[in-house]
Amino acid sequence: MRVIGGKIGGIRLNPPSNLPVRPTTDIAKEALFNILEHQIDWDDCSCLDLFCGTGNISFELASRGATEVDAIDIHSKCLFYVKDIAKQYELNISTRKADVFKFVASCKKKYNFIFADPPYDVGQLPQLPQMILDNGLLKEGGILVVEHPSMRKLVEHPLFVETRKYGYSSFSFYQNK
């Protein structure tokens, strides 16, 4: 796993092998950030990384200059790793241990960019974009990206823009226009 761009771009990270995660591949992550590069000004961007796991996306967001990154996960080991790397490289990442679905239901904060990469076998995965959008977590003009298995369809939503497929994984994009 490596950070692709920004102030720590090129840094290779080696998370512990015992973390219960399936990190976004470097190829898919690079494609994602190539798409986002022309749509988001990271310098004035509040970001939310749901199911942050290894912090792969959080590190990329903070490295590119996001003003704040909130990383949410249920697994303490994941959050300890993210916190440790963020401190080591002086990245502006706040971690929070929480059940993501409960967090989404109770969160009062709004974000410019939200990334969600739930475990592919989570039963509520198809409804996740609707939950995030209907609970008002995305600022006006903000973008939500949900990573999901290419074979699994998400519940339709009026803010849906497109889905990009990268092998077994897909990114579905939503924008609060």
CATH of the domain at 110: 3.40.50.150
What digits encode the pLDDT tens for the residues 29-76?
999 999 999 899 999 899 999 999 999 999 999 999 999 999 999 999
What digits encode the pLDDT tens for the residues 123-173?
899 999 999 999 999 999 999 999 999 999 899 999 999 999 988 899 999
Q: Is residue 159 part of a domain?
A: yes
- 94 by DSSP, 3-state: which? strand
Q: Is residue 74 part of a domain?
A: yes
**Domain range enclosing 130:** 26-175
pTM: 0.96
Q: Is residue 10 part of a domain?
A: no
pLDDT of residue 167: 86
Q: Is residue 165 part of a domain?
A: yes
Q: How confident is the model at residue 122 (pLDDT cuts 50, 70, 90)?
A: confident
Q: Which long-range contacts (CB under 8 A, 24 or more apart) does 2-7 make?
A: 2/26, 3/59, 3/60, 3/63, 4/29, 4/30, 4/33, 4/60, 5/33, 5/60, 5/63, 5/64, 6/42, 6/60, 6/62, 6/63, 6/64, 6/65, 7/63, 7/65
Q: Is residue 117 part of a domain?
A: yes
Q: Is residue 2 part of a domain?
A: no
Q: Are 57 and 80 in contact (CB under 8 A)?
A: no
Phi-psi region of 53 (alpha: psi -120 to 50; beta: other; left: phi over 0): left
Number of structural domains in the chain: 1
What digits encode the pLDDT tens for the residues 73-90?
999 999 999 999 999 999
Q: Is residue 4 part of a domain?
A: no
pLDDT of residue 74: 97
Q: Is residue 7 part of a domain?
A: no
